Structure 1
Amino acid sequence: MLQTLIPLFVDALANAALIFFVAVGLTLVFSVLRILNVAHGSLYSIGAYVAASVGLWIVAAGLPAWLTFPALVLSAAFTALLFGPVIERTLIRWTYGKSEAVQVLVTFGLFLILEDLQRMVFGVQSIYADTPMALLGISEIGGIVYLNYQLALIGLAVAVLIGLRLFIRRSRTGKLLAAVVADREVSQAMGIDTNKMFMIAFTLGVLLAALGGAMATPTTGVAPGLGADTMVLAFAVAAIGGLGQVEGAAVASVIVAVAKVLAIYYAPALDAVAPYLVMLAVLLVRPYGLFGAGATRRI
């Protein structure tokens, strides 16, 4: 029994790590900008495409294979710096103060543009670059074989969660972001450059999404349509944890991943809908999510 449950749990944690990256980026952007960025999934897939392309180029050029590891992180950083400030300063900034319907329509239009851009640049063929996973190999613990790359993903997700909390609570920029989240108008009155904080938060959200895409590439590859699938799943995770809640995104990622893995092993017919059944069950009991709470809305 234990030999069956442990691999399932490890698989779930590895999947949760990848879900967490994109979900926490989405919830961070919402907590600061109060915008649900429908294009967030496309930024995830762009990070995956860039990482896969760079990884394949490193191998084809005969460069040391270990360079594919820093390439994953650098590809995510490149994607964030290229798209984050530009998108926030143009389309996203224009939507501040607009209705939720306008914000969704604008970001959905951006999603369509980015999806077509990916097809133009990277084509429509699947890309698979598994060099990092192959280099790390496998480990056998208690007679059970694990992919070391999966274990590394779990460790990276924990490090990102701790790093985010330290950034928000200890750094000056993090404290300014927290102040903007608490009360945007008072923050502006105190002299905080809220436009700068918005750009930092959005770019950080793009970085987390692109990092999730880059890290997923060695295990799942990347293909057209990845962004849409990821976006729907990220919304479900954010809703379960509570919009704007970093810890909620972490807990919800684990819950969704466990539900998905259990469905794959014991009820394959429910694989696609398992995360959303969990979301429905949670929202029926906690409409604001596990860690969310109702808030007074200014009119």
Structure 2
Amino acid sequence: MLSFLAVLIDGTIYASWLFLVAAGLTVIYGVMRILNMAHGSFYAIGAYAAASAIGWYFADGTGSAGVSFLILIGAALVAGLVVGTLVERGLLRFMYGRDETLMVIITYALLLILEDAMKIVFGVNPYFAYQPYTALGRSTIAGLKVSNYDLVLIGIAVAVGLALWGWLERTNLGKILRAVIHDREVARAMGVNVRRMFTLTFLIGTTLGALAGALTAPSISVVPGIGVEVIVLAFAVVVVGGMGSIEGAAVGALLLGLSRAAAVHFAPQFELFVIYGVMSLVLAIRPQGLFGRTLVRKI
């Protein structure tokens, strides 16, 4: 029973991280139909911004955990909004309406450019922002030691998921966005400023990606290449859950997180394979993902 509890706790923690990483990607695809390969770079930029801000805050050896959390979130918001605005206004707005395959190529090129830009700005040495992680200490759950920071991460993931769902399902702006998702041409004919909706959606997506990176920074060493590593996992989550579905991203993250935790505890030799195995199994049974909608082709 202790092993199963460990799987449940570890899997939920990993799933919360996966959801935070994938949420911005699925929001952008759901509204804009852009498979954003550069999403991993926004994650990395958020991690670098947060690590730099935390390093500055704790430079004199003093500081509080509460303030450090505000710094993490503030750094993510600033990084996501600034970089997202530059990318959307400077590049993507000229590409709207193009073929989805072309958009994948463009965002992949952007990923390569941003990866090199981060090396120029931040260098290649690792950045550390461990202070918020260690400041919260640990708790004991049924005999298992669990980091309080990881428990906070679960709460943040739940809050982000509920906020996105409430925004899309319970607000007028969310209803407009869902109209754009279902039929852009009709939404435009009804007076909706589709391009403005695209700008808002992209900024939300980039900010969520930067937030995921900022919240991950205290538990890792921030080094070049972390964005490339997470983009594959983010794609796995949205593919399993269904492209563009917030509920699907949550269920997909939970399914993959628990599967990976079970592999780590009971069959560690399959840890690297299990996520892609689950993804392959889901796609074999339901190609559009668990919560994906079958799209009607316009002729």
TM-score normalized by the length of structure 1: 0.96
- Correspondence list, 1:105-116, <5 A: 105-116=105-116
In 2, Cα distance between the equivalents of 1:237 and 1:65?
A: 34
**Cα shift at 1:265:** 2.4
Conservation of the 8 A alpha-carbon contact between 1:42 and 1:227: yes
Corresponding residue of 2:238? 238
Matches within 5 A, 1:1-299: 2-62=1-61, 64-66=63-65, 67-299=67-299
Q: Percent identity?
A: 43
Question: CA–CA distance in 2 between the matches of 1:101 and 1:159?
Answer: 33
**Aligned-residue CA RMSD (Å):** 1.3
Report the residue type matching 2:98 in the other structure: K
Where in structure 1 do 4 or more consecutive aligned residues deviate above 3 Å? none
Secondary structure of the 1:140 match is: strand
SS at 1:271 equivalent: helix
How far is the alpha carbon of 1:63 from its aligned partner?
Answer: 5.1
Q: What residue identity is the alignment partner of 1:73?
A: I
2 CA distance for matches of 1:169 and 1:293? 17
Residue 62 of structure 1 deviates from its aligned partner by 4.6
1:164-194 superposed Cα distances (whole Å, 9 cap, x missing partner): 1111122232222111112111111111111
Q: Where in structure 1 are there 5+ consecutive unaligned residues?
A: none
Structure 1 CA distance, aligned partners of 2:128 and 2:265?
25
Alpha-carbon distance between aligned partners in 1 of 2:298 and 2:223, rounded to the nearest angstrom = 43
Listed one character per residue, the Cα deviations across residues 35-56 of structure 1 (whole Å, up to 9, x for unaligned) are 1000001101110111111111
Please list the CA deviations of residues 246-284 of structure 1 after superposition, one character each: whole Å capped at 9, or x if unmatched: 000001001111122222223333222221111000000
Provide the secondary structure at the position in 1 that maps to 2:196. helix
**Deviations, residues 55-75 of structure 1 (Å, cap 9, x unaligned):** 111000455233211011111
Q: 1:171 to 1:62 in 2, by over 3 A?
A: farther
Give 1:141 deviation, angstroms: 2.4
User: For residue 126 of structure 2, what is the amino acid of its counterpart?
Assistant: S
Native 8 Å contact 2:3 2:265 kept in 1: no
1:130 CA displacement: 1.1
How many residues get paired? 298
Q: Larger deviation: 262-271 or 53-62?
A: 262-271
Amino acid at match of 1:279: M
Other structure's SS at 2:146 match: strand
Give, in whole Å, the separation in 2 of the partners of 1:214 and 1:270.
29
**CA distance, structure 2, for counterparts of residue 57 and residue 180 of structure 1:** 42
Q: Assess if the C-alpha contact under 8 Å between 1:58 and 1:65 holds in 2.
A: no
Name the SS of the counterpart of 2:139 in structure 1: strand
SS in 2 for 1:164: helix
| Letter aligned with residue 167 of structure 1 | W
Q: Residue by residue, what CA displacement relative to the aligned partner does 1:206-263 show, whole Å, maximum 9, x if unpaired?
A: 1111111111111123211111110011111110000010000001001111122222
Letter in 1 for 2:40: G
Letter in 2 for 1:39: A
Residue type of the partner of 2:6?
P
Helix, strand or coil: the match of 2:296? coil
